A and B are shown apart, each in its own frame.
Chain A
Amino acid sequence: MSGQGLTGLSTLSRRLVALGVLAWCLITAFPLYWVVVTAFKTPPGVVGGPTYIPFVDFTPTLQPFIDLYQGIRGEFFRTFLNSTIVGLSAAAMATAIGAMAAYALVRFEFRVRLGAGLIFFLLALGGYLLFSNNLGFTRAQALLLAFPIALVIAIIANRLPLPGPILGNEDILFWFVSQRMFPPIVTAFALYLLYTEIGRLGFQLIDSYVGLTLCYVAFSLPIVVWLMRDFFEAIPIEVEEAAMVDNVPSWRIFLGIVVPMSMNGLLATFMITLAFVWNEFLFALFLTNSKWQTLPILVAGQNSQRGDEWWAISAAALVAIIPMMIMAGLLSRMMRSGLLLGAIK
């Protein structure tokens, strides 16, 4: 424990502080408690006004859950499975490639010329406009043509002595993290269009595992890179140097030494990413329509056209919340052992 051990405070103020924290905890816990009890109520039990304690002022029923199980309010089981599959795999992939990128940004030197970046953007934009407007390609074709061409030219251009500033690792990191700043609403729609266009080329991305997971991987990467960079920076470099001297190849240093050493950080990042994907609403809304719907869509849908049916909403919300509750337990244990410290230096 560091510092202010409340030693400067009297017993009274100590108690007041404890009381304040307790109050905040109650505020935090009450809505959750409310969901739990409401999920076991009957419709008249809800409409009749608030009741609080099962068996005391209302008789609990499992009916809302039976309804869920029987699929009266949508395919809960399958949706739950979808959320689990997409969540776990997207979080795992994002953590994996994000960690690789973060490691690269911590340990290797990168130099990108701003000029090359601009060339890429302008060529991609111009190429896209040219191909789609003047040469009669579809949007997807135009993009699929313009993008690699721009990328290749930009990579070549990066080797030329272009004027203008040279961007280093910090700038690349900022570029990654700044992806989070773009309002997701338009990204979602544009992505939807991109996916449908690619779908016309014969590779279905809408409402597919690949499409949804890829999108989540991309939008989780900024968080992963940001968090993992700090974890990796906390690893003493000598350990890696020892391995280098020992003729361990770089990939093996990463997999055999760095990854096990930052396992806790990876786990925490994985869980945070999982929570993000698990709760994500907007992209799921646009990129799925039947087979790969996720839980938030179904939960939001409980707010149906004909008004709120709280017992059902609560049961649905509870199903979506429980895995996150378990994770909160795990995360808080990690937090206690100070493992998240590395994330914020």
Chain B
Amino acid sequence: MLRRTFLMLTTSLAVACAASQANAACSPDYSGVTLTVASQTGPYIASALKLGADEWTKKTCGKVNVVEFPWSELYPKIVTSLTASDATFDLVSFAPAWLPDFVPYLSEMPKAMQSGKDWDDVEPAYRERLMVWEGKIYSQSMDGDVHTYTYRTDLFSDPKEKDAFKAKYGYDLAPPKTWKQYLDIAEFFQRPDKGLWGTAEAFRRGGQQFWFFFSHAAAYTNNPNYPGAMFFDPETMDAQINNPGWVKGLEEYIRASKLGPPNALNFSFGEVNAAVAGGQVAESIGWGDTGVIAADPKQSKISGKVGSAVLPGSDEIWNAKTKKWDKFPAVLPAPFMAFGGWQIAVPKVGKHQEAAWDFVKTLTSPEVSGQAAITGGTGVNPYRKSHTANLELWSKIFSPQEAKEYLGAQADSINGKNVALDMRLPGYFSYTEVVEIELGKALAGQTTPQAALDAVAKEWNRLTDEFGRAKQLAAYRAAMGLPPKN
């Protein structure tokens, strides 16, 4: 029971804090201030915001009102409110990919917040890349997101399974290093008659589908020899999404859809978690929530048997510049920072700038965010060094072995040499919509992977031209952490 746990934790936290700070004066004093935060419908993220809100209220006497919108409405809601210069929201929580669209309307983070212990504690992948836009900081990460690999240790350590696997595939059953191994394992455990299937990923339109696809493709397209060329050529802004690396990724993504439960095509990430926690699948990829939910005995049939690892990779990566496959001496994982973790920012028109940033500080402080990270249902995954370093914090929900693997996978992914950044571009929705549509066709077998991706590439190039190629190129380079061209 997700919420029950959450409730208990919040209450205990609240009681503990109340006891220690019962008579503390409001400092800084924001009594009379009510901050309105736009967020998606809870419990994910919204409940983390409420958790932070309670803390902040205790500290400053200010109030926080969390307003929740359906995920699919959050972007239009924020856009309409920002473009109308409407002072409804003092803070907005959002996906990093939307940042480019929002930047003109956001205020910069106070310089004082951009240093110090808490600042340095934030993982560099967030602090130096996702939170930055054209050299400036407009937002603060409040959640860390990277795709990792989850598997069932009971199956993987079963000697009978190990022998059978080795006999069939000629190598040891272990967390996969390559996507081919990933598919082999899925195929091996595909046993519909026993209620066990290979893997679970999200395949539904509007159900976080394309991030899973990107995870597959990242292994073949995020080339360290030509950085930032995963989605577009950073020199010309030509769409790369139909190159052989992407096609291979898509082929494997489609293959994975056939090695999952029968309704896998209708899975969003929520169903993935349910399938993992229900013990229906042997392995899975997805965000950190999967591990936390699968570890919770109240909602999981496999608690205590959850293993985690970095995403599979590849030793061959497509080079967009030379238009050739580059060979690497060893398998190079390209953990994909899918979505990139929720961020929170302060619109310029907000009336309580100072208070808003103070709330951000409290919300993302190591203590409050650390508590949120281990609470199932907040949707908050590690994004600070202190989150992954503090094993003791996690022992409440994980066994020591689980905790080690889980935190190891999270930390290794974020700090991975070849970590793949998610796409961030103005007009993001226009770009991803066509991906979703074509993915749907390819998954349904209505079109070939190559044709589907060609269609996407054509539309991407058209959109880039419509929005202004130079402008988009500059934005894309900023998003990928590349210096401005010339």
Interface residues of A (CB under 8 A from B): 42-44, 47-48, 63, 67, 70, 72-74, 192-193, 196, 199-200, 206-207, 285-286, 289-290, 293, 297-298, 300-309
Pick from A72, A206, A307: contact of B268, CB under 8 Å = A307
Are B207 and A304 in contact, CB atoms less than 8 angstroms apart? Answer: no
Closest 3 CB pairs of A and B: A307-B270, A301-B41, A290-B67
Q: What's the Cα separation between A309 and B268 when bound, in Å?
A: 12
Q: Return B270 CB to nearest CB of chain A, in Å.
A: 1
Q: Contact mask B288-306 → A, CB, 8 Å, 1/0?
A: 0100000000010100000
Residues of B within 8 A of A207 (CB): 88
24 contacts between A and B (CB under 8 A): A44-B301, A48-B278, A72-B6, A72-B42, A72-B43, A73-B42, A196-B84, A196-B86, A199-B84, A206-B86, A286-B80, A289-B88, A298-B68, A300-B70, A301-B40, A301-B69, A304-B44, A304-B270, A306-B44, A306-B273, A306-B289, A306-B379, A307-B271, A308-B270
Task: Output the nearest chain B residue to A195 by Cβ-Cβ distance.
Answer: B84
Interface residues of B (CB under 8 A from A): 1-4, 6-7, 36, 38, 40-44, 46-47, 65, 67-71, 73, 77, 80-81, 84-86, 88-89, 207-208, 267-274, 277-278, 289, 299, 301, 379
Q: Given known contacts A43-B1, A285-B73, A289-B88, is B270 in contact with A306 (CB within 8 Å)?
A: yes
- The residue among A72, A74, A302, A305 with the most chain B CB atoms within 10 A of its own CB is A305
Q: What's the Cα separation between A199 and B81 when bound, in Å?
A: 12
Q: Given known contacts A192-B80, A286-B80, is B41 in contact with A74 (CB within 8 Å)?
A: yes
Residues of B within 8 A of A70 (CB): 7
Q: What's the Cα separation between A305 and B2 when bound, in Å?
A: 16
Are B70 and A304 in contact, CB atoms less than 8 angstroms apart? Answer: yes
Q: Return B278 CB to nearest CB of chain A, in Å.
A: 5
Q: What's the Cα separation between A321 and B459 when bound, in Å?
A: 43
Residues of A within 8 A of B69 (CB): 289, 297, 301
Task: Output the nearest chain A residue to B270 by Cβ-Cβ distance.
Answer: A307
Pick from A43, A289, A303: contact of B81, CB under 8 Å = A289
Q: What's the Cα separation between A73 and B41 when bound, in Å?
A: 7
Q: What's the Cα separation between A63 and B268 when bound, in Å?
A: 24
Task: Output the nearest chain A residue to B280 by Cβ-Cβ distance.
Answer: A47
Q: Given known contacts A290-B36, A290-B67, is B1 in contact with A305 (CB within 8 Å)?
A: no
Q: What's the Cα separation between A207 and B89 when bound, in Å?
A: 12
Are B42 and A305 in contact, CB atoms less than 8 angstroms apart? Answer: no
Are A305 and B274 in contact, CB atoms less than 8 angstroms apart? Answer: no
Residues of B within 8 A of A67 (CB): 3
Residues of A within 8 A of B268 (CB): 305-308
Residues of A within 8 A of B6 (CB): 72
- The residue among A193, A199, A307 with the most chain B CB atoms within 10 A of its own CB is A307
Are B68 and A301 in contact, CB atoms less than 8 angstroms apart? Answer: yes
Q: Return B301 CB to nearest CB of chain A, in Å.
A: 8
Q: What's the Cα separation between A63 and B85 when bound, in Å?
A: 40
Are B42 and A74 in contact, CB atoms less than 8 angstroms apart? Answer: yes
Residues of B within 8 A of A286 (CB): 80
Residues of A within 8 A of B3 (CB): 63, 67, 72
- The residue among A43, A200, A298, A304 with the most chain B CB atoms within 10 A of its own CB is A304
Q: Return A13 CB to nearest CB of chain B, in Å.
A: 41
Residues of A within 8 A of B278 (CB): 47-48
Task: Output the nearest chain A residue to B83 by Cβ-Cβ distance.
Answer: A196
Q: Return B467 CB to nearest CB of chain A, in Å.
A: 21
Q: What's the Cα separation between A34 and B106 when bound, in Å?
A: 46
Pick from B68, B73, B80, B271: contact of A308, CB under 8 Å = B271
Q: What's the Cα separation between A289 and B289 when bound, in Å?
A: 28
Task: Output the nearest chain B residue to A48 by Cβ-Cβ distance.
Answer: B278
Q: Return A99 CB to nearest CB of chain B, in Å.
A: 35
Pick from B71, B80, B267, B301: contact of A305, CB under 8 Å = B71
Residues of B within 8 A of A305 (CB): 40, 44, 71, 208, 268-270
Q: What's the Cα separation between A326 and B299 when bound, in Å?
A: 35
Q: Given known contacts A289-B77, A307-B273, is B43 in contact with A206 (CB within 8 Å)?
A: no
Residues of A within 8 A of B208 (CB): 305
Pick from B2, B4, B70, B274: contact of A297, CB under 8 Å = B70
Q: What's the Cα separation between A104 and B36 when bound, in Å?
A: 46
Residues of A within 8 A of B80 (CB): 192, 196, 286
Q: What's the Cα separation between A285 and B46 when bound, in Å?
A: 18
Are B47 and A44 in contact, CB atoms less than 8 angstroms apart? Answer: no
Residues of A within 8 A of B47 (CB): 72
Residues of B within 8 A of A293 (CB): 67
Q: What's the Cα separation between A47 and B88 when bound, in Å?
A: 39
Are B269 and A74 in contact, CB atoms less than 8 angstroms apart? Answer: no
Residues of B within 8 A of A303 (CB): 70
Are A63 and B272 in contact, CB atoms less than 8 angstroms apart? Answer: no
Residues of B within 8 A of A199 (CB): 84, 86
Are A42 and B271 in contact, CB atoms less than 8 angstroms apart? Answer: no
Q: What's the Cα separation between A297 and B68 when bound, in Å?
A: 9
Residues of B within 8 A of A43 (CB): 1-2, 299
Given contacts A304-B71, A305-B44, 5 further A-B contacts (CB under 8 A): A73-B41, A199-B86, A293-B67, A301-B71, A306-B273
Q: What's the Cα separation between A44 and B274 when bound, in Å?
A: 9
Q: Return B89 CB to nearest CB of chain A, in Å.
A: 8
Residues of B within 8 A of A306 (CB): 44, 268-270, 273, 289, 379
Residues of A within 8 A of B1 (CB): 42-43, 63
Task: Output the nearest chain A residue to B73 by Cβ-Cβ distance.
Answer: A285
Q: Given known contacts A63-B4, A70-B7, is B274 in contact with A47 (CB within 8 Å)?
A: yes
Are B67 and A289 in contact, CB atoms less than 8 angstroms apart? Answer: yes
Q: What's the Cα separation between A290 and B63 when bound, in Å?
A: 15
Are A307 and B7 in contact, CB atoms less than 8 angstroms apart? Answer: no
Q: What's the Cα separation between A27 and B346 when bound, in Å?
A: 50
- The residue among B4, B46, B267, B274 with the most chain A CB atoms within 10 A of its own CB is B274
Are B73 and A74 in contact, CB atoms less than 8 angstroms apart? Answer: no
Residues of A within 8 A of B71 (CB): 301, 304-305
Residues of A within 8 A of B84 (CB): 193, 196, 199, 206
Q: Given known contacts A43-B299, A300-B70, A301-B68, is B207 in contact with A307 (CB within 8 Å)?
A: yes
Pick from B41, B77, B274: contact of A298, CB under 8 Å = B41
Are B77 and A73 in contact, CB atoms less than 8 angstroms apart? Answer: no
Q: What's the Cα separation between A73 and B2 when bound, in Å?
A: 12
